Amino acid sequence: MKKGDIRKFEIEGYAYEGKGISKISDEENTEKKFVVFVNGSYPGDTVEAQIIKKKKSYADAKTLNVITKSDKRTEPVCSYFGTCGGCKQQDLKYSEQLFYKQEQVKDIFQRIGGFQHLVMEPIVASENIIYYRNKLEFSFADRRWLTKAEIGDDASINDRNFALGFHIPRIFDKVLDIHECFLQSKISNDILNFTREFFKNRETPIYSTKTHEGYLRNLVIKQSQHANDLMVNLVTSDENDDLMKQYSSELRNRFPEISTIINNINQKKSQVAYFLEAV
């Protein structure tokens, strides 16, 4: 087995965040099992996967095709699942997520911590499987990550230089344009899309980490689960009072639920926002 090989794996265990475990006989010692962590798989799956990293005692692989689906799977609710990288196991039934999380905690205490005879209470399931977070941070980018479908229809892409959404894992200069995220409330999606169109229609420049020029950097939405507090924080590279007042005015008119609007100014090259003023 070497990097780049494509093989069929039967998944018999689970590690974390969408990584199934397949154990095969070691090529040098048939009595010893060689562990392969297969990203995008769950126990009960049979998958075709490609080796992306090979070590002495284990390997990492990514699923290319699910041959036989596990009964632990479910359909993800988000159309960006598998590309965004924010939700690692949305296609795993919630009851199974709880089971494997409890097994991981038990393993940490017993195998790593050395504790024995533990009494573990079952995990209490959340009432909200979606729309449960109180804060999301979106990034602006002047280079939009294109999906496979968009690449196949390249002629129709006319907005590749404006994106507001999430960075793809290990990609720092491009952003996947997000129009709907199921982590926060529905109103946060509306604010996200309003913000995109407001600045996009005005051709507002986006800050570039390469040239260190541009205005827009981040959009942070924070919403209380127990009070009627909703904060919108626009992170920019410098001040633009007129533009910010227009944005604040239209934002309040469109979303009277908003209690606070903040403009953070980040003049540093790093992606860290510093509080400056409330509008």
pLDDT tens, 103-132? 999 999 998 899 988 888 999 999 999 999
Quote the CA–CA distance of 43 and 71 in Å, as a whole number: 9
pLDDT grade for 29, boundaries at 50, 70 and 90: low
Looking at per-residue pLDDT, the higher value among 33 and 247 belongs to: 247
pTM: 0.86
Q: Is the pLDDT of residue 59 over 80?
A: yes
Listed range (4-13, 164-173, 211-220) with the worst mean pLDDT: 164-173
Write down the mean pLDDT value for the chain.
90
Listed range (61-75, 138-152, 165-179, 219-233) with the worst mean pLDDT: 138-152
Q: How do the domains of the chain map onto residue ranges?
A: 6-68, 135-278
Looking at per-residue pLDDT, the higher value among 1 and 81 belongs to: 81
Q: List the CATH code of the domain at 6-68.
A: 2.40.50.140
Looking at per-residue pLDDT, the higher value among 22 and 30 belongs to: 22
Q: Percentage of residues in the chain with pLDDT exceeding 70? A: 91
Please give, one letter per residue, the 3-state secondary structure of the chain. Answer: CCCCCEEEEECCEEEECCEEEEEEECCCCCCCEEEEEEECCCCCCEEEEEEEEECCCEEEEEEEEEEECCCCECCCCCCCCCCCCCCCCCCECHHHHHHHHHHHHHHHHHHHCCCCCCCCCCCCCCCCCCCCCCEEEEEEECCECCCHHHHHCHHHCCCCCCEEEEECCCCCCCEEECCCCCCCCHHHHHHHHHHHHHHHHCCCCECCCCCCCCCEEEEEEEECCCCCCEEEEEEECCCCHHHHHHHHHHHHHHCCCCCEEEEEECCCCCCCCCCCEEC
Task: Please compute the mean of the pLDDT values over residues 85-96 and round it to a whole number.
Answer: 93
Task: Please compute the mean of the pLDDT values over residues 240-258 and round it to a whole number.
Answer: 97
Q: List the CATH code of the domain at 135-278.
A: 2.40.50.1070
135-278 matches 6-68 in CATH topology: yes
Question: Can you give the pLDDT at residue 278?
Answer: 45
Quote the CA–CA distance of 9 and 42 in Å, as a whole number: 11
Question: Can you give the pLDDT at residue 277?
Answer: 45
